[in-house]
Structure 1
Amino acid sequence: MPFEALSASSSATTPTLAAIISSGPRIATVTITRVHYTHRKTLKSIGTYFVSGVTVKAPGPDHGTVERLKGTVEQSAPPRPGDRVGALYAPDTPEAGSYLGRLSALRSLPGGPAPPGEFGLLALYGLVPLVLARLSYRTATTCRSFADGLGEGQPHTLRVRVDGATAGSFHRPFPSATQSPRLAPGLRLSSSGGSRDLFHERCLDPEGLASALSNQQGWLYWVPMAEHRPEWVTGAVLVLDDGRYLCGVTPLGAAPHMLQGEPLGGPLPGPEPSRAIGPYALWHPRVHLPAAVAYAVSFLAVGLIAAGAGYRNGTLESICFILAAAGPIAGLLSIRFQRQRYLRELRRRTGGLTASVPNEGNSA
């Protein structure tokens, strides 16, 4: 939406506005002397309004001189002779035309501050992605209760210690030949006589998380399945001794090093978790550096458009708009590529498993 607002601002930079600014603009309240026509228009976003062509009486270059200017005014009601409106015009060049409307909006055209309402609207648009990011993070990394993270069945438990980071790849049920595995970061959990992996959501940096939780001890809970393949995974919850928890999935395989734990004799701790582990959402600079460059180029292009670098140069303006729109897209694609590359290297270094998810209910 800010980009769309910038596009509208750029298109408003017309030859008429440039001629008024170059000739010495003046903003004043003027009187409508004649209404030439009125057209009624309706938009879903703002409702019904009226566009009218009028002649106004405005102060001229010398004291007492009156200029008669023609212009177009948009109002919620049809104008009448004698109505007062704001006007932006050049007293020394009346033939350049005029802009009619609210004084607060007219002051922004020659370089003044934007109306407070526009700043408020821009701030509201800026809050939308922040709220969505917060809701997405909470949904991805928290669970309402331990049962939500484990699913149905007899839980198993294992005393573990956070031993490092790992990564693994996952397939959805019945993958086709064209599907590529989804890589996920994880924690390597060690216990007496073996280990077990807990794969979590990709919004968490595995090495940063493993470093922050290094040597922390707790209990891992998961529900084994009666019918499963060795490479399948099931929902799991890691609960540290200090009460923090992390939802994820753990492999169901029966490898020699993969401990199977013991059936839980009593009820699950809770029933509600205390607080989630994190946030540790920052990734390595190499994951985000190319995206940061793309965002910087996009920001520079937006700045050039706002500064009027493309005025009277359609090619330059088009290039700036393309860079401004393509920068965030290229940045997101770059983050995805770099993250996949990073997780593949981490899986190769740590010997992470390749598993497939038997059903959506058992995925983290």
Structure 2
Amino acid sequence: MREKTAFKALVIGGSVGGLAAAHELRSIGAEVAVYERSAGRTQPRGAGIVMQPEVEALLTRLGVTARSVSVELYERQQLHIHGKATRYVAPQLMTAWDTLYRALREPLTNVCYRLDSSLKSVQVEGHDVTATFANGYTAHGNFLVGADGIGSATRTLLDPSTETTYAGYVAWRGLEPESDLPDDLLELLSGRFTFFGASGMQLLCYLVPGPNGECEEGSRRVNWVWYVNTAQKNLPRLLTGSSGKRFANFLPPGELTPEITAELFALAADSLPPQFAALVRLSHVFMQPVFDLSPYRMVADHAVLLGDAAGTVRPHTAAGTSKAFGDAAGLAYAMNGWAPPEVLPARSLEDWEAQRLAHLVTLSRMGMQLASSSSLGTTIGRQFLSST
């Protein structure tokens, strides 16, 4: 590694990918400021996260062990439609978005982290980058990192023509305290990755740490995600909350309308094993449509994109978070040693972009294949939740 020198990085996006970028850039001597568009606490766009090597590596450098922020699973089990389970040994560590967020955020308490910062414009003059936000605030630095997710404002500013594509299915989700579930259901799910699949749907379930990172029995949460095929024409209805607000790509807990709730519970009763149908009924359900964003360039003039801002992978790969962490680690390696007014390390950034885009393409194809194998987002899979 080259000798550490300083530059100022403006990180757009304060979720776990942006926080990973902040840590990695600080490790090479950069001054970092993070800007998050959420007005309050950043909203998790998912609940459970599979612990992957890229995530564990950064946590270890921060003095946090993977086990201290995870629930350990010992088996995988497939539930069949009448409730019988087929099991096999498969150890795995599971964490949660808010647990990981806390582990990354707490060491950055002395770093500039501004909420309510929706990026509106970026201007580059020489080695100076100016970011202007919707609230009128202006930030100055030498390099900008777009880690602002699938709805990336950074990406839109770099190339307004990029668009997401609906994948043909949605992810219904729940995240419930284990203490709220019946003992027999909790006994079935505890210590296991549980799944069920049928034409046009798939449900996965496992335990994750509690809301404050608790990993001890009795204080954890049960995380589940239910992928369901539904036509794009149904999305406006499904994304209209009980408050009357139309959401773009995430229906928060508490916004499920009585009409959609009744349809979803009926679908669960008709299509899921009885244990999973009961779990859905006991949950505060939220929802995300699954979108694709084709792999995109990652390097621009004094700016880069990483994580979902550069391109998405389907959730079946369990690699969305780890991909963002890998992007951030590679970026820091490419940028190490640079300081204005030196010329940017263009060759290193090009190599980083080529390596990470190749990785992204591989993961993207893998995710689509996994979805297709479960007839998710395909023309042959059954369709549900029609508005007609």
Query: Fold-level match, TM-score > 0.5?
Result: no
Return the index of the structure with the highest Cα Rg.
1
Tell me the TM-score range normalised by the shorter chain.
under 0.3
TM-score scaled by structure 2? 0.24
Taking structure 1 as the reference length, the TM-score comes to: 0.25
RCO higher in structure (CA 8 A, sep ≥6): 2
